[in-house]
């Protein structure tokens, strides 16, 4: 009886007309749910007057059939969401997103979601009705469902962990990056190459797997004792390098999980009376601006954040326009940038 009561409205013809070309699809959803078009319209627009059970059934059908309103009140802007805004990457990502958005005559809003909803939440984003969302961290399942139910597409930028099937994302070729860094050191003649890894994030594991792959391909042993894991910070790299350099069979080269760890290796090497690269070669990952300022300038694997941001924005806008895309998951190629922190080992 609740469905019948909620579906009764003298303005049903107006509701159908308001939806324009999408009214047939709304009627299809309404028929499947056993309710009227205005009831579906109220759910789509987040309005009251629909029972919880009916609302859940309609939202499930909307998600299942991929319905997206073509004449809704979404604003033409991309919402770019960060977990924190202190990273040196933030400015580069924002520039890449703004450039593509401007070409598409769309605006950009930057938001920060706190770890415990201290700053903002997906409810605020839904209320703003953006054309699409670009998230620089992996949204929890509940938040993804909330966006999906409201017809707001989203793309995950540079995901730290494995992305569930069907979730659009843009990342980098982390495995190939770790492999190219290690191959570079092998080509210079290094045979005792250590790795400072990071936490159990997918991108750290992929970089470490690339390191192991390069050693195995060169016929070199993969020594578990030559791998030390630590935080992705300068202090983390310094502590890990102290452990490696304090061994009798210390490595002649170290591959790190990111550039900040590499700068920590520099400090540990100086403490041990070693010179980079004469006594120890070091390779970072990311190619942050600090890599050029280091002394000596750091050899590192460049993660093309500008290209990644542009690609992610193009994908998000295409989904926002309701276009079919050929590929939901995109990985942009990394590139080894050779500077002055690597050299042949001393004979």
pLDDT at 36: 81
Q: What is the pLDDT of residues 181-228, one digit of tens each?
A: 999 999 999 999 999 999 999 999 999 999 999 999 999 999 999 999
pLDDT at 6: 42
Q: Which fold has domain 2-64?
A: 434 Repressor (Amino-terminal Domain) (1.10.260)
Give CATH for domain 75-171+307-332.
Answer: 3.40.50.2300
Give the model's confidence band at 11: pLDDT under 50 very low, under 70 low, under 90 confident, else very high. very low
Q: Write out the residue limits of the CATH 3.40.50.2300 domain(s) in the chain.
A: 75-171+307-332, 174-303
pLDDT at 321: 84
**CATH class as words, domain 174-303:** alpha beta
Give the model's confidence band at 120: pLDDT under 50 very low, under 70 low, under 90 confident, else very high. low
pLDDT at 178: 98
Listed residue (130, 126, 160) closest to 143, CA to CA: 126
**How confident is the model over 126-146, as a mean pLDDT?**
86
Inter-helix orientation angle 52-64/23-33, to 10°? 130
Q: What is the pLDDT of residues 139-186, one digit of tens each?
A: 888 888 888 888 899 999 988 888 888 889 999 999 999 999 999 999
Tokens of 59: 């939202």
Torsional sign, CA 30, 36, 38, 39: negative
pTM (global) more than 0.85: no
Output 170 or 44, whichever has higher pLDDT.
Answer: 170
Instruction: Give buried/exposed letters for 85-102 (b at 16+ CB in 10 A, else e).
Output: eeeebbebbbebbbebbe
pLDDT at 99: 92
Q: Measured between alpha carbons, how far is 262 from 331 in angstroms, rounded to an integer?
A: 24
E-state strands within 150-218: 154-157, 169-172, 193-197
Listed residue (121, 134, 179, 193) closest to 330, CA to CA: 134
């Amino acid at each position: 009886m609740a469905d019948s009561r909620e579906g009764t409205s003298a303005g049903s013809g107006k509701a159908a007309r308001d939806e324009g070309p999408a009214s047939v699809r709304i009627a299809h959803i309404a028929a499947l749910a056993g309710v009227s078009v205005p009831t579906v319209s109220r759910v789509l627009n987040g309005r009251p007057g629909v029972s919880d059970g009916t609302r859940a059934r309609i939202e499930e059908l909307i998600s299942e059939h991929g319905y997206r309103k073509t004449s809704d009140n979404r604003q033409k802007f991309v919402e770019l969401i960060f977990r924190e805004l202190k990273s040196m990457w933030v400015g580069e990502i924002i520039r890449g997103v703004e450039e593509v958005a401007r070409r598409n005559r769309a605006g950009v809003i930057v938001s920060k979601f706190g770890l415990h909803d201290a700053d903002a939440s997906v409810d605020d984003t839904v209320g703003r009705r953006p054309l699409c969302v670009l998230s620089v961290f992996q949204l929890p399942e509940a938040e993804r469902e909330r966006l999906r139910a409201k017809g707001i597409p989203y793309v995950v930028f540079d995901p730290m962990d494995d992305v569930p099937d069907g979730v659009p994302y843009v990342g980098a070729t982390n495995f190939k990056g770790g492999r190219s860094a290690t191959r570079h050191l092998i080509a210079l003649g290094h045979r005792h190459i250590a790795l400072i890894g990071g936490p159990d994030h997918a991108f750290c594991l992929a970089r470490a797997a690339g390191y192991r792959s390069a050693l195995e391909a060169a016929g070199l042993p993969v020594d578990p004792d030559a791998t030390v894991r630590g935080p992705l910070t300068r202090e983390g790299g310094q502590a890990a390098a102290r452990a490696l350099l304090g061994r009798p069979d210390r490595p002649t080269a170290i591959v790190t999980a990111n550039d900040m760890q590499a700068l920590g290796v520099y400090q540990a090497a100086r403490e041990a009376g070693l010179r980079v690269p004469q006594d120890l070669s070091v390779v970072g990952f990311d190619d942050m601006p600090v890599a050029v300022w280091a002394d000596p300038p750091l050899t590192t694997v460049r993660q093309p954040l500008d290209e990644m941001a542009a690609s992610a924005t193009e994908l998000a806008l295409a989904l926002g326009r309701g276009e079919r895309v050929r590929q939901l998951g995109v990985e942009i190629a990394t590139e080894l940038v050779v500077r002055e922190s690597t050299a042949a080992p001393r004979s």
